[in-house]
Amino acid sequence: MEEVLLNIQDLYTEYNTDHGLVQAVNGISLKIRKGETLGLVGETGAGKTTTALSILRLIPDPPGRIRSGKIFLGDQELTACTEKEMQKIRGNRISMIFQDPMTALNPVLSVGDQIAEVVRLHEKCSRAQAQERGCQLLELVGIPANRYKEFPHQFSGGMKQRVVIAIALACTPELLIADEPTTALDVTIQAQVLELIASLQEKTKTAVLLITHDLGVVAEVCCQVAIMYAGEIVEYGSTEEIYHNPSHPYTIGLFRSIPSVDRKVHRLQPIAGLMPDPTALGDGCPFAPRCPKCTPRCQEKRPPIMQLEGEHQVKCWLFAEGEEES
């Protein structure tokens, strides 16, 4: 087994807003090994992006802050780094692909210069060398190098996302965080971009944290999956474990909500109700109000993480048989 690259331990991140304290991330722990792809799945407001920003220490402060927990990249504790140390890590050892390629690029800089900028920042090299590297990276993501001097508005959405990928990969990071990298793209372009990320990952042995709400995308590219709901990881395991044996009622509900392309069902079985208010998460399981198998215990006390077979973990009272009720 490869060694652990990213290790998040009991992370809590919160935002202090006018409407109260928003507990965006509530005690999550996860590990990513070198060269591995972890899919972080959840709906809007589940805390996926906050997790990513916490890793990069980019939580806007105020209103947000990491309340407790530790994040390690290899041996280095990111949560203890100074801002100056973080600047050396961002874009170099960890880089990020943002959801919307339309707004992630600077409209007044040529795409080539935006790639070269990252190289200049993190590597000791001349302007000419950086430009050379920029051209190589453009070719790597399938854009002819002669478009180096063109501006983002001259590119289509799929090509802009490739430029963003080129920027993210410029310094061959150890960890790549991709926040919904294909959500803004059409399916045929999405297929191209996913293929590109996978092939580049193979070449550079980069670990990927893929944030998405699309279980189809996860099935295609991830080896590990973490399902997030209301700031908690409710289920975690290998892709096989999650897809063959989904255990948490929320995960099961998610699978049932997706219309299938292979089979026509008359009615979908949606999850009833809405996401809980993140400023008022009670003491119980956050999914309890929407859960079809909810018991009184679920409403009173937050479930512990239960270990199933292998690495499969689930945070649900249903699997706590034999545990004493307290």
Partner 1 sequence: MSEYLMEVKDLKKYFKTRSGMLHAVDGVTFSLRPGETLGVVGESGCGKSTLGRTLVKLLEPTEGQILFEGEDITYARGVQLKRLRTRIQMIFQDPFSSLNPRKTVRESILEPLKLNSALSARQREEQVLELMNTVGLAQRLAHSYPHELDGGRRQRIGIARALALNPAFIVCDEPVSALDVSIQAQILNLMQDVQEDQHLAYLFITHDLSVVRHMANQILVMYLGQMVELTSADVLFERQMHPYTQALLSAIPVPSLEKRRQRIILRGEITSPINPPAGCRFAPRCPYVTERCTAQTPELYEAAPGHFVACHRGGEVG
Distance (Å, rounded) from C-alpha 151 to C-alpha 258? 38
Q: Indicate whether 259 belongs to the interface with partner 1 (CB under 8 A).
A: yes
Q: Indicate whether 217 belongs to the interface with partner 1 (CB under 8 A).
A: yes
Choose the stretch contacting partner 1; rule: CB under 8 A; options: 12-20, 59-67, 170-178, 184-192. Answer: 184-192
Q: Least separation, in Å, of the C-beta of 209 and partner 1?
A: 18
Place of tokens 């997790």: 51
Q: Least separation, in Å, of the C-beta of 261 and partner 1?
A: 5
Name the β-bridge partners of 53.
Answer: none
CA-wise closest residue to 89 among 132, 116, 126, 118? 118
Q: Indicate whether 277 belongs to the interface with partner 1 (CB under 8 A).
A: no
Distance (Å, rounded) from C-alpha 72 to C-alpha 5? 8
Q: Least separation, in Å, of the C-beta of 141 and partner 1?
A: 14
- From candidates 113, 117, 150, 220, binder to partner 1 by CB under 8 A: 220
- From candidates 2, 149, 202, 268, binder to partner 1 by CB under 8 A: 268
Q: Indicate whether 257 belongs to the interface with partner 1 (CB under 8 A).
A: yes
Q: Least separation, in Å, of the C-beta of 188 and partner 1?
A: 5
Place of tokens 């780094």: 81
Sequence-ordered list of residues with C-beta below 8 angstroms from that of 131, at least 6 positions apart, any chain = 112, 116, 148
Q: Indicate whether 261 belongs to the interface with partner 1 (CB under 8 A).
A: yes
What distances in angstroms separate CA 47 from CA 42, 54, 232, one per listed residue?
Answer: 8, 10, 8
Q: Indicate whether 157 belongs to the interface with partner 1 (CB under 8 A).
A: yes
- Looking from the CA of 244 toward its CB, the CA atoms found within 13 Å total 7
Q: Closer to partner 1 at the Cβ: 1 or 274? A: 274
Q: Closer to partner 1 at the Cβ: 29 or 183? A: 183
Q: Kindly state the DSSP code that residue 319 receives in the 8-state scheme.
A: G
